[in-house]
Structure 1
Amino acid sequence: MRIAIVGGHGQVARHLHPILVRAGHTPVALVRKETYRAELEGLGAEVRLLDIERQDENAFAAGFERCDAVVFSAGGGPDGRVERKRTVDLEGALKSIAGAKAAGIRRFVQVSAINVDNPLPPGTSEVWTAYVHAKRDADAALRDSDLDWTIIRPGRLTDDPATGAVSLGPDVPRGDVPRADVAAVLAAVLADDDTVGHQWNLVAGETPIAEAVGQAAHSS
């Protein structure tokens, strides 16, 4: 497949590109800066320019041209300005969903965050609240779409080396997970049509990724 990756220079995405290449796919990294091109092409990705915050859904659809699937892996992060939680994490996802529909793409995998449907405790910071609500609302929009969706909700992301083993499921409790393992799970769900229509938490664990994905797809 040719797979469009929104947020194609993100840390998870940079792990994902070579995994997809090794599996015989073509990752299409959608990024806002031309200066990222050489690095991403070195990882095997095709590079297309897209400004998530400033361009509209028509530009997203053009960026998805000739692609078979979309991975939304962009995010303003849990730190920084409140406004970017809306413009990147929520509006970027909404424009990606609309762009996929306009481009005739059905398969859509979204990277969210663990437990964003749960109430926040008193005293939660404004930035974190905005981040959680943006991810929550983006997930709801994707679930309400008629796309063939899968939502992956990682716990706290780390830069630890990949382990190849995770815990994956709808009720997995909060924990850490290496970004490299998140990327491997994304590649695995893209390759498995039985993952369509599922939303799972993802943390480090003891189950090999292919096995974890298969178990989750057939037990939830």
Structure 2
Amino acid sequence: MRVAVVGGHGQIARLLHPLLVSAGHQPVALVRREAQRTALEAVGAEVRLLDIENDDVAGFTRAFEGCDAVVFSAGGGPDGNAARKRSVDLEGSLKSAAAASASGIRRFVQVSAIDVDQPVAPDAGEVWAAYVAAKRDADAALRAGPLDWTILRPGRLTDEPATGRVALGADVPRGEVTRADVALVVAAVLDRTEAVHHQWNLVGGDVPVADAVARAAAS
């Protein structure tokens, strides 16, 4: 498959691209800056420019041309800007889903966050509340839409090397997970039809990724 990766220069995306190449897919990294092209092409990604905040659905549709699946792994980042949580994490997802539908793309994998359906603590702060609301609403919109979606909700992300072992399921409690393991799970679910229309929490665990996906899909 040709896989459009929205947020193609993000930390998870940069780990995902070589996994997709190894699996025989062609990652298409959608990024905002031309300066990011060389490093991404070096790991096998095709690079296309996309401004998540300022491009409209038509721009997303052009960026998805020729693709067979979409991975939305973009995020507004820890910049303290509450407005960007909506413009990137929510509106970017909504535009990606709309463009996928317009392009005839069915498969859509979204990287979200654990426990975003739970109430936010009163002292959590404006930016965190905006982030949770954006992820929550993006997931709800995707679940209500026509695409063949899978939503992955990782716990607190760390930068350690991949373990290849996770806990995956609808009710898995909060914990840590490496970004590298998140990328492994994204790659594993992408072409698994049994993962369609599932939303799973994802944290570090003891089960090999392929087995964890199979067990979660069967439960």
When normalised by structure 1's length, the TM-score is 0.98
Describe how 1:148-187 pairs up with structure 2 within 5 A.
Answer: 148-187=148-187
Distance in 1 between the 2:116 and 2:61 partners? Answer: 28
Describe how 1:49-128 pairs up with structure 2 within 5 A.
Answer: 49-128=49-128
Distance in 2 between the 1:121 and 1:153 partners? Answer: 19
Aligned-residue offset at 1:120? 1.2
Residues 96-146 of structure 1: per-residue CA shift (max 9 Å, x gap): 000001111000000000000011122111000000000000000000001
Equivalent residue letter for 2:145: S
Aligned-residue offset at 1:78? 4.5
Describe how 1:173-212 pairs up with structure 2 within 5 A.
Answer: 173-212=173-212
Match of 1:45 in 2: 45
Residue pair 1:79, 1:127 contacting (<8 A) in 2 also? no
Distance in 2 between the 1:125 and 1:17 partners? Answer: 34
Distance in 2 between the 1:4 and 1:199 partners? Answer: 20
Match of 2:28 in 1: 28
CA RMSD, 1 decimal: 0.6
SS at match of 1:180: helix
Distance in 1 between the 2:114 and 2:49 partners? Answer: 29
Q: How many residues align?
A: 219
Residue pair 1:85, 1:131 contacting (<8 A) in 2 also? yes
Aligned-residue offset at 1:77? 2.5
Equivalent residue letter for 1:37: R
Residue pair 1:16, 1:187 contacting (<8 A) in 2 also? yes
Residue pair 1:72, 1:110 contacting (<8 A) in 2 also? yes
Distance in 1 between the 2:206 and 2:117 partners? Answer: 26
Residue pair 1:79, 1:128 contacting (<8 A) in 2 also? no
| Unmatched 5+ stretches in structure 1 | none
Distance in 2 between the 1:79 and 1:60 partners? Answer: 24
Equivalent residue letter for 1:71: V
Distance in 2 between the 1:202 and 1:50 partners? Answer: 28
Distance in 1 between the 2:76 and 2:174 partners? Answer: 21
Q: Which runs of 4+ in 1 moved over 2 A?
A: none
Distance in 1 between the 2:80 and 2:140 partners? Answer: 24
| Unmatched 5+ stretches in structure 2 | none
Distance in 2 between the 1:218 and 1:175 partners? Answer: 23
Aligned-residue offset at 1:191? 2.1
Distance in 1 between the 2:4 and 2:193 partners? Answer: 17
**Alignment identity in percent?**
69
